[in-house]
Amino acid sequence: MEVKYLTEPERKTPVVETDVFVAGAGTAGCVAAIAAARAGAGVVLVERTPVPGGTLTNGGIGISSFYSATKEPEKAKRIVGGIAYELMERLQEAGGATEFIPMPGDQNFSPYRIVADHEIYKAVISKMLMEAGVRVFLSTMFCDVCMEDGADEDSAVRNHRIKAVFIENKDGRSAVVAKQYIDASGDGDIARMAGLEQTELWQRYHEVCGGPNGLVFGMAGIDFERAVVENPTGFFKLGGTTDQGDGIVSRRFAFTHVKDKEKYAAFADLDINFFTSMQSIHEGELTYINNSKGADCNVCDAESLSRAEMESRVMAMEFADAMKKCVPGCENSYISWASTQMGVRASRITMCDKMIAQEEISAAKRFEDEVGLYGFHDLSPKRKECEICEPGFYGMPYRMLLPGGCDNLYMAGRCVTGDIEAHMSTRNTVGCMIMGQGAGVAAALCARADCGSRELPYGRLREELLAQNVILEV
Ligand SMILES: Cc1cc2nc3c(=O)[nH]c(=O)nc-3n(C[C@H](O)[C@H](O)[C@H](O)COP(=O)(O)OP(=O)(O)OC[C@H]3O[C@@H](n4cnc5c(N)ncnc54)[C@H](O)[C@@H]3O)c2cc1C
């Protein structure tokens, strides 16, 4: 279809000045903003939804993982500190997360798991952003960039600089002029608008985990005793229960395929096999129903994505209805929440100075410019070649945050790593937080020193990361 264009009239746009601008108050973006502010920078953070937290409050509430990968939980070492770990402690203090629950030996990808209450997460992360003094603009869309004049188009390495970004909200349109910019939008929106090199990864998600998107929701009013006892081989296969005695009862369910079509007639027309993961942290509530396949769509196309959002809500309703009709103990159940926006596992990936590869992750590779250590892989132990060898973790290099062709922009979160298998590690919540803290600290230091991202001495970055309790050696 031919695209028609309209030339907008020139206009004057009010300017907000700051040291560091962060697009996206999600998993990585909130940590980046807090880290930059704690390192002394003035920070503006924008988020298109009215809620900070991103996919962590929209589905990714099983926060994976703070420990080295090992089949024996007692041998696991904690390898993640910094803001990510502090966040867990504060969630636990607020009654909004489970303890670190040891997982059975066959789940060597995650020796300890922590599951958060998405509502408490929203409050705790809001408090931390306010305490750090971050200027937060919610219901605000980052929508364009303005590059600095004089960029050398002919140069082989085009290290352009961003001069300003444009945001839109109820106040209208503003320009934010910052010294450094962090793209934590998940989709690499700043990098795309800046014309940097990107590749689409989302199609590959059909090969590794159902699909690239999913709408997570929860159901309450469930009698688990009956659901598990009266239905032991059916829907709920209990993987483990931990009662902390503080109102948090964590139950993990392994999904079992519904074989008895007559008994489960209401599910007959539903493609229910994709509801692969269910977790509960409150009595009577299935807190987390992860529709891992999602509705078919092109996650890089706004209209297609919107349709999938709507189809996913219909699917959740139909699924809940079938649960009520077929599963003992669910007669009085109901949908208690659904994520504000559908979760996306991957869309556009931005090409950065270092694109980490699966072989490096499996080999537990270390780098000379690390911003953190990570030891979780979502394909392990399912795929032997994705296991991380001894000591069960790898380094996340600073260079993986630096997009080719731009000198004052950092990428953080699921928008990096083009190797699909490697992405199944780095994109997970804690990996995104590690990148967020690395980007936040580096951006603050570069803003103070008035230098480009590649001119920052690693020793200075390491010093500040350690001061912020990031673990760089174990
Ligand atoms: C269904 C699902 C289940 C998952 N389960 C788990 C799990 O159990 N454990 C685990 O560790 N990981 C899980 N993950 C993966 C993990 O949660 C995500 O990869 C990670 O949270 C992504 O973090 P991020 O910061 O890159 O993006 P996000 O957390 O998605 O943050 C991006 C933010 O940017 C905002 N934004 C986007 N564009 C703009 C714009 N133009 N202007 C302003 N704001 C913008 C978005 O609204 C969003 O808040 C899951 C992912 C999905 C989709």
Q: Are 161 and 190 in contact (CB under 8 A)?
A: no
Tokens of 141: 């869309």
Q: Are 191 and 350 in contact (CB under 8 A)?
A: yes
Q: Is residue 125 part of a domain?
A: yes
Ligand 1 mutation target, pool 185, 300, 309, 352, most atoms within 8 A of CB: 185
- Shared domain for 319 and 368, answered yes or no, is no
Provide, rounded to the nearest whole percent, the portion of the chain with pLDDT above 90. 66
Strands 43-46 and 20-23: parallel
Q: Are 182 and 34 in contact (CB under 8 A)?
A: no
Question: For the sheet containing 62-63, what is the strand order?
Answer: 62-63, 112-115, 101-102
- Domain range enclosing 364: 15-206+347-467
- Shared domain for 154 and 240, answered yes or no, is no
CA 82, 161, 454, 183 dihedral sign is positive
CA 232, 234, 236, 237 dihedral sign is positive
Looking at ligand 1, which atom is closest to the CA of residue 427? Answer: 19
Instruction: Please compute the mean of the pLDDT values over residues 393-410 and round it to a whole number.
Output: 97
Is the beta carbon of 111 within 6 A of some atom in ligand 1? no
Tokens of 127: 């408090």
Q: What Cα–Cα distance (Å) separates residue 90 from each residue in 57, 125, 437, 453?
A: 16, 9, 17, 31
**Higher confidence at residue 188 or residue 245?**
188
**Is the confidence at residue 269, as pLDDT, over 70?**
no
- Shared domain for 47 and 74, answered yes or no, is yes
Looking at ligand 1, which atom is closest to the CA of residue 294? Answer: 1
Q: Are 418 and 424 in contact (CB under 8 A)?
A: no
- Shared domain for 20 and 134, answered yes or no, is yes
Distance 60 CA to ligand 1 centre (A): 8
pLDDT (tens digit per residue) in 75-94? 899 999 999 999 999 999 99
Residue (of 363, 390, 458, 432) closest to 82 by Cα position? 432
Residue (of 387, 369, 370) closest to 378 by Cα position? 387
Domain closes at, from 316, 344, 372: 344
pLDDT (tens digit per residue) in 274-317? 566 778 888 888 888 887 677 889 999 999 999 999 999 998 89
- Shared domain for 191 and 289, answered yes or no, is no
Ligand 1 mutation target, pool 277, 428, 430, 435, most atoms within 8 A of CB: 428
**Is the confidence at residue 367, as pLDDT, over 50?**
yes
Domain closes at, from 344, 366, 400: 344
- Shared domain for 290 and 358, answered yes or no, is no
Q: Give the chain's end-to-end CA distance (angstroms, integer).
A: 56
**Is the confidence at residue 336, as pLDDT, over 70?**
yes
Q: Domain total for the chain?
A: 2
C-alpha–C-alpha distance, residues 33 and 63, integer Å? 20
- Shared domain for 370 and 423, answered yes or no, is yes
Domain closes at, from 311, 344, 377: 344
Q: Are 413 and 388 in contact (CB under 8 A)?
A: no
Confidence at 234, pLDDT banded by 50, 70, 90: low
CATH code for the domain of 46: 3.50.50.60
Residue (of 420, 383, 413) closest to 396 by Cα position? 413
Residue (of 313, 240, 320, 318) closest to 281 by Cα position? 240
